[in-house]
Structure 1
C-alpha cells in the first residue's frame, strides 16, 4: 500500500522533465516548461472530482506534500468537500486576524452616542491610544491573553492607577465587542490580568479644594469684571462643573433658572435628563455683568474663538500660588452644606448634579428639590459674599 502511494522519489522530483507525475492517492506534481512546479490533489466526493492546489515545489517538499494530501484525503473520506472546507477555514482564520487597533476603533465608534459630545474630547479612547495600542494594536485580538495585558499595563499599574484602570476597562469592552462580532476571544483575559497584576497601591488624589471658610475672601478678590473673574464667580455661586459653565448659552437661562443640558453632565446614564440650576440674586447679577461679553450665544467666549478654557481659570489660581483648582469649589460647597447647614443629603447632592438613590427610589421620587435648592443657593451666595457666619437651617421636606 505504501509503495502504491509513494511512487515518486526526491531524486525523481528534482530531475523529472516538464509534465505531470502521480505520487499515488490522487497526489500529483505538475512541472511546467518554464521551470515552475506545483503540487495538486485530486479526490472524489459525492461522485464529483475535486482538485485543489497544495503549493509550489519551491516551498513544499515531497514529504510535506504527502502529509498535506493525507490530511485532505481524510476529510474527503468523511464526505466533506476539501476545497470548500479549506475555504471555510480560511474565512475563520481571516475573521480571527482582526487587529486590536481596528476592534478598538470600531468599539469606540459604536459607543460615541453614549459619550459626551460624541467622544470628541478623546477621554474614552485616550487610555487605549496612549498605553495599550502602541504595544498590542498590531496583534490579532484572538491572540491576546492575560500575559500580554499584564506586560502592557504593568508599567503604569501602580504609578498611574486610575489611568491603568480605565485602560483595562476599555480593553475589556473591546474584547466583548470582538466577541459580539463573532471573533474567538478570551473574555476573561482582563480579569486574569488583574489577578496577575495584583491590587493597586496608588491612592486616589482628589482635586485640591479651597476650605469653605476661605471662599468669601477669594470671591471678593475676583473684582476686575473680566470674563475669567466673572466665570469663576458664577462657577463658585452655582457649584457646577466647569464644562457646562464654560459652554453656558444665554438661551439656557430663563428667569432665575439655568437649565444645564443632560449631555453636559458627567456621569449621567440618561443624557436626555436636564438639570435645573437655581440662580441666586448674586448669580443673576454676575450673568448681567457678563452679558456684554457674550458672543455666538455663549456667555463666556474666549478671546479668539470658542469658549473660555478650563485652563484659563486654573492658571489664575496657579499664579496666585494656590493649590486649589476651579473644580474644587464643588467640594467647598459640599463641605459648607455638611458643616454649616442641616441641608438634607439628597438636596445637597442634587445641587451638585449627582444622581441620588437607586433606580426604584428615583422612579417614585418626582421632585428635583428645586425650591429647597433655590433657598440653599441663596444662602450659599450670602456666605460667599461674607454676609453670613451662622449655621443655616433648612426645612427637611
Structure 2
C-alpha cells in the first residue's frame, strides 16, 4: 500500500506530533510519504521522522492561491500515485484536483471544525468519540473514530508514587490560549490553595507558547494580580523528548481546558504514571474513562479545581491512588497506543 499524508504546516502541536508517530509506525509495513503544503515547519520535528519517509515541501505562503504551488502539489500527487491520500486539514481537499484512482480521507483533530468540505472525502475520521459526536450533531455525518495515540516506550514513568518530595509540583502542557485551554482557571485555583488554604509547598510549571503574545501577557499579569509569582514558572515551548523525560518528576498534571477534542498530554501523563486532573468536558473525560482512570472538576470552576487538587494532595500516597494509576496506565496503553492508531488507519484504508 502506498500512502501519502498531506498537512498544511508541521509545527509542534498535538495533531502534528501524532502524525509524526503515525508516519514512523506505518513506514514499517507500507510505502509512506509526507507532503507539507505551507512554508511553516519545525525542523526539530522533521528530524524526528523516520528517514525512510520521503518528505516533500511545497513551500506555499499560508492561504496563497499561487497557481504554481497548487500545480506543484497536484503534479507531485500524480507522480506518487498513492493508494490513499490522508489529509490532516479539512480544507485541503479543494486544493487537490488530481486524485486519479486514489482514495482521499481526512482526520478531524478538534471540535467545531467547519463542515464545508467533508463531502469531498471518501472517509472522515475523528480522533475521539467527542469529536465524532460534535460532527454528527452539526451535520448528520457519522464518521469513524480512530483514537490518537502515543509511543509509550518513549515516556519515562514514575517508579514509586510514594517516594518523598517536600514540594507538590503541578504541570500543565498546552498552547497558551486561556479561552480554550483554561490556564487562568488553574492559576486562580492555585491562588486559593496558597492564600486561602495555606498550602505553600506547591509549584506550577506551564509548558507551551502562545500564538499571539496577548495570551501570555494576560496570564503573566494574572499571576502578579493573584500574588503567586513565586509559585509559577512559564517554561515556554519544550521539545517532546524533554516532556517525556521530565513528566515523571511531577506530582500531578492538570488539563483545565474549556474546549478539547481529545487530550494527548493527558495520555502522556498517564503513561508517566502520574495522577491527572481534567475539566469535565467530553474529550478529556473520554481519555480518563469517564472518571475511572483520573480525576475531574467542573469546567471553568476554579473553586472546584482547587478543591480537587487539595484532595489529591491530602490522599496522594494511599493504596487506592496507586491502584488507580496502574489501572489508568493499562487502560491507556491498550486504548491510546500509537501502534494501534497506525494499524487501525491501515485497516480502514483497506476498506476504502
TM beyond 0.5: no
- Greater helix share, structure number: 1
Larger gyration radius, structure 1 or structure 2: 1
TM-score, length-scaled by structure 1: 0.29
TM-score, length-scaled by structure 2: 0.32
